[in-house]
């Protein structure tokens, strides 16, 4: 769709005569009300400006043998401040994920200023996924995401508890900084079987080691084929280098 020409001599621009197509570049989206509503729900919002405010209670303790629920994720508000009752770490019969000690190889794409690990997949929403067993994956936020957030240590991370069923493109978690918050979206569907406890007491690892100790969840994938939707490291790095593409 053709955009209106600016009046170069005058900072104001003529609004008269603009067609609807001049404002909306893709007319099809005008009728996308259902998609819009879905996004709003995914963002934790409901219609009319009423939002789902996360509770202020920490995640419920879930025993390793608890059957994962199939209900919608429960909003919980663990904070980066150490708590006296740490949230549950694992719901998988004793499986405990330990991140590697050494940094992965990074890809090198001209124009990409954030670090992109070569050994995993990425969503456009700056979440990485690394397969560790057949149907088990670790996910976390990328270096680009932590750069966008800035001052991670002054924020508050809101994560789902163990047992939560994540839905593809659904709510993954939230980062609340001073006067601003950012929603994160899940790149895969599955059940959370482990949450990274360390983030509650040392959120700086999100900044310093986003691909190692800064992981968020271990997920038992329910639809592994969704991995095909994700970007490979070169694609993700290229997208960072060309954000207007």
Partner 1 sequence: MKPCWICNLGLMPYDQAFELQTRLAFLRYKKAIDDILLLLEHPPTVTLGKFGKIENVLVAEDELIKRGISLCSSNRGGDVTFHCPGQLVIYPIMDMRSREGNLRRFLSELEEVVIKATAAFGVQGERWSEHPGIWVEGRQIAAIGLHFVRGVSMHGISLNVNPDLEAFRVINLCGMAGKEATSIAKMAKRNVSIQQAVEFVQASFSAVFEVQLEDISCQQVLGDVFG
Applying CB under 8 A, the residues found at the interface with partner 1 are 3-4, 6, 11-15, 18, 20, 23-26, 29-33, 35-36, 39-40, 43-45, 47-51, 53-54, 56, 77, 125, 147-151, 156, 174, 176-183, 185, 243-244
Q: Partners of 185 in the beta sheet? A: 171
- The minimum distance between CB 69 and partner 1, in angstroms, equals 23
Whichever of 93 and 243 has its CB closer to partner 1, that residue is 243
Least distance in angstroms from the C-beta of 157 to partner 1: 12
Q: Which is nearer to partner 1, 53 or 84 (CB)?
A: 53
Please state the closest distance from residue 37 (CB atom) to partner 1, in A.
9
- As measured in angstroms, the least distance from the Cβ of 141 to partner 1 is 13
Helix residue ranges, H only, the chain = 20-23, 33-42, 143-149, 198-201, 205-208, 233-241
The residue among 46 and 66 lying less far from partner 1, judged by its C-beta, is 46
Residue with smaller CB distance to partner 1, 97 or 168: 168
Closest by CA position to 99, among listed 132, 66, 50: 132
Which of 173, 169, 201 is CA-nearest to residue 186?
A: 169
- Each residue of 63-96: b (16+ CB within 10 Å) or e? eeeeebeeeebebbbbebeeeeeebbbbbbeeee
Q: What share of the chain is helix, strand, coil (3-state, %, to 5)?
A: 20, 20, 55
- Contact assessment for residue 188 and residue 168, using Cβ atoms and an 8 Å cutoff: yes
Closest CB to partner 1 among residues 136, 188: 188
Give min distance, CB of 63 to partner 1, in A. Answer: 29
Beta carbon nearer to partner 1, 154 or 223: 154
Nearest approach, Cβ of residue 56 and partner 1 (Å) = 8
Q: How many C-beta atoms surround the C-beta of residue 195 within 10 A?
A: 28
């Amino acid at each position: 769709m053709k955009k209106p020409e600016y009046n170069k001599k005058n900072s104001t621009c003529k609004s008269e005569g603009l067609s609807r197509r001049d404002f909306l570049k893709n007319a099809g989206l005008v009728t996308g009300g259902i998609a819009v509503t879905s996004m709003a729900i995914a963002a934790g919002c409901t219609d009319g400006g009423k939002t789902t405010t996360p509770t202020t209670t920490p995640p419920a303790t879930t025993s390793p043998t608890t059957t994962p629920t199939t209900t919608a994720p429960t909003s919980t508000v663990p904070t980066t401040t150490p708590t006296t009752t740490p949230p549950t770490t694992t719901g998988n019969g004793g499986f405990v994920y330990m991140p590697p000690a050494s940094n992965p190889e990074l890809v090198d794409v001209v124009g990409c200023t954030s670090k992109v690990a070569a050994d995993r997949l990425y969503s456009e929403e700056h979440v990485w996924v690394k397969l560790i067993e057949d149907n088990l994956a670790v996910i976390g936020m990328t270096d680009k995401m932590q750069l966008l957030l800035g001052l991670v240590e002054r924020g508050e991370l809101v994560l789902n508890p163990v047992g939560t069923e994540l839905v593809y493109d659904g709510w993954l978690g939230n980062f609340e900084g001073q006067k601003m918050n950012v929603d994160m979206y899940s790149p895969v569907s599955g059940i959370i079987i482990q949450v990274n406890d360390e983030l509650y007491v040392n959120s700086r690892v999100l900044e310093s080691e986003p691909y190692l100790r800064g992981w968020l969840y271990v997920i038992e994938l329910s639809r592994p084929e969704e991995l095909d939707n994700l970007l490979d490291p070169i694609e993700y790095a290229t997208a960072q280098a060309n954000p207007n593409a």
